[in-house]
Amino acid sequence: MSVSQATSHAVKVLPVLDSDLTTVERARTFWEVFEENTEVLPDKSRLLVFQQKLKGREAERWWNSSHIKTFKTLKMRFHNHFLSRTADELWERLHSTKRHKG
């Protein structure tokens, strides 16, 4: 399978990660599936697939301000931003999201 075919396949099979609706558990599951389905791809292709599967205001703002160039950096920053949140941080995020939506 060529890199372009593998990239296209990964985009098709991976779920979307919507930062406005996600939980730590969903983010962890997304990451595990993402890592497994893109392990044969070069870093540039992995980053492209990741960017296409990322949705939500917070995630898009995070991605645009991160300047991520390698998979190793993506893995570390994703973990720090989405997986290592405390319960209090998640609770505050939930409440602030509800206030913004009305």
> 9: part of which helix (H) or strand (E)?
helix 3-13
Between helices 43-53 and 24-38, what is the axis angle to 10°?
140
Banded pLDDT at 90 (limits 50, 70, 90): low
Rounded to whole angstroms, how far apart are CA atoms 79 and 39? 17
Q: What predicted TM-score, i.e. pTM, was given to this entire model?
A: 0.76
Domain residue ranges in the chain: 3-101
Banded pLDDT at 30 (limits 50, 70, 90): very high
Rounded to whole angstroms, how far apart are CA atoms 94 and 43? 33
Q: What tens digit of pLDDT does each residue of 64-82 get?
A: 888 899 999 999 988 888 8
Give the pLDDT of residue 25.
86
- By the 10 Å C-beta count (0-12 exposed, 13-18 middle, 19+ buried), 58 is classed as middle
pLDDT mean across residues, the chain? 86
